[in-house]
């Protein structure tokens, strides 16, 4: 199958990870994949991936960006065009009458406007909650997945010079408002524990100010970007996802596959968790009490995670994600 993957974002996050790993897996399965993207993203792809730079720094309606994409799609014959996320989907919604292959879009995050996806042949969403805003007949849920690997545990107390008599909690993500790290700091304030927050972002200075006001019994460290976040999460006593909004967090996928114990706010990953592992951000007392309970009842937390680990092994692998994506491609091709 000849597949054209389009990604029009700039930066690095779950969307870019998804596109890169899906493309690589499709190549490994014998399909031809060409990626249209900003040159900074193309530089992260494997050599065997066909690459075509586009001026993704321009707006989705900019004539030059539209012309670059259309020129390429008319020059080469593809079986499927796959637009990753809203900007790429909007571009293809504009160009849809000018190209012949069927167009699939993937919705990665909660957005107010998803009408561009309704103009494509089919939409993939990375969670059931995201699918609720789209027509059921042309929407398929495909969870993010990663390649299972052996995770090496490390001594976090020694590595980060933490107190030896306190449990270690960790959280991973960009330091942005959507990730809710300010809420997490409020929830743990006053608890006798160590919290490691891995990630960088524009809210770092504001979070440092908040940490400075917290009681001394709560140790908090911003440890910056960590290459092997799964190792960090597997080695901690627990992982908290405190996001205000999220599509389907790769941090959650990595935590499940690393067999970390997880507590999450009710973002879409919560559709895979049991109620006792979900907290709301509008009840900070309940948030704090839940963290304290789970950190002091590790066996209960571990037992609650067992069905989630089993489900993760079945549904959250890169192989499963790719197989389900290919099934959508074939279904759409069969209808066109």
Q: What is the DSSP-derived secondary structure letter of residue 146?
A: B
Mean pLDDT value across residues 32-38: 97
Closest CA to 253 of 335, 142, 177, 168: 142
Half-sphere exposure of 272 (CA within 13 A, CB side): 27
Residue 124, beta-bridge partner list: 106, 140
Q: Give strand ranges (E) for the chain.
A: 2-7, 32-37, 50-53, 80-84, 103-107, 122-125, 139-141, 168-172, 193-198, 218-224, 238-241, 262-264
Closest CA to 151 of 67, 61, 234: 234
Domain that holds residue 288: 156-315
CA distance 242 to 281: 8
Residue 219 sits in the same domain as residue 98: no
Q: Are strands 2-7 and 168-172 parallel, antiparallel or unpaired?
A: unpaired
Per-state percent for the chain, helix, strand, coil, to nearest 5: 45, 20, 35
Residue 46 sits in the same domain as residue 74: yes
Mean pLDDT estimate for the chain? 94
The pLDDT assigned to 113 comes to 84
The answer to whether the CB of 23 falls within 8 A of the CB of 33 is yes
The pLDDT assigned to 285 comes to 93
Q: How far is CA 75 from CA 70, 78, 99, in A?
A: 9, 10, 10
Q: What is the DSSP-derived secondary structure letter of residue 133?
A: T
CA 69, 70, 73: angle at the middle one, nearest 5? Answer: 90
Residue 26 sits in the same domain as residue 103: yes
- Residue 234: exposure state from Cβ atoms within 10 A (0-12, 13-18, ≥19): buried
Helices (H), 150-283: 156-159, 181-188, 204-212, 229-235, 250-257
Residue 208 sits in the same domain as residue 138: no
Q: Note whether residue 151 is domain-resident.
A: no
Q: Is 105 left (phi over 0), alpha (psi -120 to 50) or beta?
A: beta
pLDDT for 112 beyond 80: no
Q: What percent of the chain has pLDDT over 90?
A: 87
Domain tally, the chain: 2
CATH code where residue 282 lies: 3.40.50.2000
The answer to whether the CB of 196 falls within 8 A of the CB of 221 is yes
Reported as a single tens digit per residue, the pLDDT across 257-304 is 999 999 999 886 778 899 999 999 889 999 999 999 999 999 999 999
Residue 279 sits in the same domain as residue 233: yes
Residue 163 sits in the same domain as residue 308: yes
Residue 167 sits in the same domain as residue 134: no
Residue 131 sits in the same domain as residue 277: no
Residue 100 sits in the same domain as residue 194: no
**Token digits of residue 117:** 């996806």
Reported as a single tens digit per residue, the pLDDT across 197-246 is 999 999 999 999 999 999 999 999 999 999 889 999 999 999 999 998 87
């Amino acid at each position: 199958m000849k597949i054209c993957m389009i990604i029009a974002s700039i930066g690095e996050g779950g969307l870019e990870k998804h596109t890169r790993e899906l493309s690589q897996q499709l190549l490994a399965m014998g399909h031809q994949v060409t990626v249209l993207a900003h040159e900074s993203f193309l530089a992260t792809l494997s050599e065997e991936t066909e690459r075509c730079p586009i001026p993704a720094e321009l707006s989705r309606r900019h004539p030059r960006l539209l012309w670059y994409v259309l020129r390429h799609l008319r020059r080469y014959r593809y079986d499927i065009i796959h637009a990753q996320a809203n900007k790429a989907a909007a571009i293809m919604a504009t160009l849809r009458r000018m190209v012949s292959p069927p167009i699939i879009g993937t919705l990665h995050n909660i957005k107010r406007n998803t009408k561009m996806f309704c103009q494509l042949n089919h939409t993939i969403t990375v969670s059931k909650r995201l699918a609720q805003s789209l027509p059921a007949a042309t929407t398929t849920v495909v969870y993010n997945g990663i390649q299972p690997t052996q995770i090496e545990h490390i001594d976090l107390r020694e590595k980060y010079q933490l107190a030896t008599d306190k449990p270690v909690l960790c959280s991973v993500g960009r330091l942005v408002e959507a990730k809710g790290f300010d809420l997490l700091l409020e929830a743990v304030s006053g608890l006798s524990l160590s919290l490691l927050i891995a990630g960088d972002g524009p809210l770092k200075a504001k979070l440092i100010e908040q940490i400075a006001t917290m009681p001394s019994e709560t140790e908090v460290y911003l440890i910056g970007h960590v290459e092997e976040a799964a190792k960090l999460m597997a080695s901690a006593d627990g992982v908290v996802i405190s996001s205000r909004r999220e599509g389907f967090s790769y941090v959650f996928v990595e935590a499940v596959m690393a067999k970390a114990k997880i507590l999450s706010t009710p973002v879409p990953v919560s559709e895979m968790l049991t109620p006792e592992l979900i907290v709301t951000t509008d009840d900070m007392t309940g948030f704090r009490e839940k963290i304290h309970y789970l950190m002091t009842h590790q066996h209960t937390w571990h037992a609650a995670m067992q069905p989630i680990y089993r489900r993760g092994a079945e549904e959250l692998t890169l192989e499963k994600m790719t197989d389900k994506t290919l099934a959508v491609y074939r279904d759409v091709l069969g209808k066109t």
